[in-house]
Amino acid sequence: MTQIALSPLIRSGLCLMRAGRWDDATQLLAAAQADTASERLALALALAEVAVDQDFAQQTDNAGSRLVVLAEALSETPDACAGWDFAFLQLRKDYGTALVAGNRAAGPELAERVGQLRTAPDESRSGHATFYAGVIADNLLEQPDEAFAAYTTALDLGERSGDDLLVSLALRHLGDHAHTAGDLALARAHWERSTELRQKVGHLLGALAQQTLLAVLARDEGNLAASKALATEVNRWSNQAHIPWLQAQSADLMS
């Protein structure tokens, strides 16, 4: 059988994940044969990331077993960066669960964990943890000022590290704060740039979520035809990708 180097295979799997093809990504990565302990760790980390991402997008519950395998691989091959990634994936999973359940009681514990993760191996990782500090403050703790400060810091860290996805995440939520404050022009600037960056990195879910916000903005600007047209396209895509919360949001805008 032809052998393929592991690094490009993992990159391909994560590209499939960003394209909303979680099952294909899992099948590709699970089919790989790891020859060393470090390769087993890399594969376990990639499979756990795909599972956590799918659980958030499609409201499935696949990540638990993948995180157990990752913990076992880390015990076999300790690695500081992979250890941070493991803790961050656990945080993402637990935040997604709390968000869907409306479990605000989980906020303080998650805030404590993410505060520890902000000390990270590099600026990109620190920025992603800082972004999650923002969404936890916004959505679970009702602390908008703290959230805004976290998003601003995450944006700076994303730009400094060249992490387009992190920049797009920060801009999405800074745009939401501008929209809440009634500054529709600033909201549009942030949301359009965020959309473009998500399209650049091939992030289907992210791009659709941003287009939904642009549909909201068009409605608030009084352009109902543009709002409905955008929402209709998002609804078609999210139906095909089986993303239930985007299906619901876009359906509301279509009506």
Out of 2-6, 73-77, 201-205, least confident range: 2-6
Q: What's the total number of domains in the chain?
A: 1
Name the band, by pLDDT with cuts 50, 70 and 90, for residue 3: low
pLDDT one-digit tens code per residue, 94-128: 999 999 999 999 999 999 999 999 999 999 999 99
Is the residue at 92 inside a domain?
Answer: no
Residue 55 has pLDDT above 90, yes or no: yes
pLDDT bucket at 2, cuts 50 / 70 / 90? low
In a domain, 26, yes or no: yes
Q: What angle do CA 98, 119, 48 make, to 5 degrees?
A: 50
Longest dimension (CA), the chain: 60
Q: Is the pLDDT of residue 130 over 50?
A: yes
pLDDT at 8: 94
116 phi/psi in degrees, rounded to 5: -70, -35
In a domain, 69, yes or no: yes
Does 118 reside within a domain?
Answer: no
- Mean pLDDT over 177-204 rounds to 98
Place of tokens 């992979």: 82
Q: Residue 18 pLDDT > 90, yes or no?
A: yes
Cα separation, 64 vs 146, whole angstroms: 30
Q: Is residue 154 part of a domain?
A: no
Q: What percent of the chain has pLDDT over 90?
A: 97
| 105 and 136 Cβ atoms separated by less than 8 Å | no
User: Tokens for 47?
Assistant: 């499979």
Q: What is the pLDDT of residues 26-45, one digit of tens each?
A: 999 999 989 999 999 999 99
Tell me the residue range of the domain where 30 lies. Answer: 1-82
Q: For position 47, what pLDDT does the model report?
A: 98
**pLDDT band (50, 70, 90) for residue 1:** very low
pLDDT band with cut points at 50, 70 and 90 for residue 5: confident
Give the mean pLDDT of the chain.
96
- For 150-172, how does the pLDDT look when each residue is reduced to its tens digit (9 = 90+)? 999 999 999 999 999 999 999 99
**Exposed / middle / buried, residue 14 (Cβ in 10 Å: 0-12, 13-18, 19+):** middle
Structure tokens at 175: 């745009």
- The string of pLDDT tens digits covering residues 64-104 is 999 999 999 999 999 999 999 999 999 999 999 999 999 99
Mean pLDDT of 135-156: 98
pLDDT above 70: residue 57: yes
* Model pLDDT, residue 208: 97
Three-state SS string over the chain comes to CCCCCHHHHHHHHHHHHHCCCHHHHHHHHHCCCCCCHHHHHHHHHHHHHHHHHHHHHHCCCCHHHHHHHHHHHHHHCCCHHHHHHHHHHHHHHHHHHHHHHCCHHHHHHHHHHHHHHCCCCCHHHHHHHHHHHHHHHHHCCCCHHHHHHHHHHHHHHHHHHCCHHHHHHHHHHHHHHHHHCCCHHHHHHHHHHHHHHHHHCCCHHHHHHHHHHHHHHHHHCCCHHHHHHHHHHHHHHHHHHCCHHHHHHHHHHHC
124-144 mean pLDDT:
98
Residue 204 lies in a domain: no
The answer as to whether 23 is a domain residue is yes
Whether residue 91 is contained in a domain is answered as no
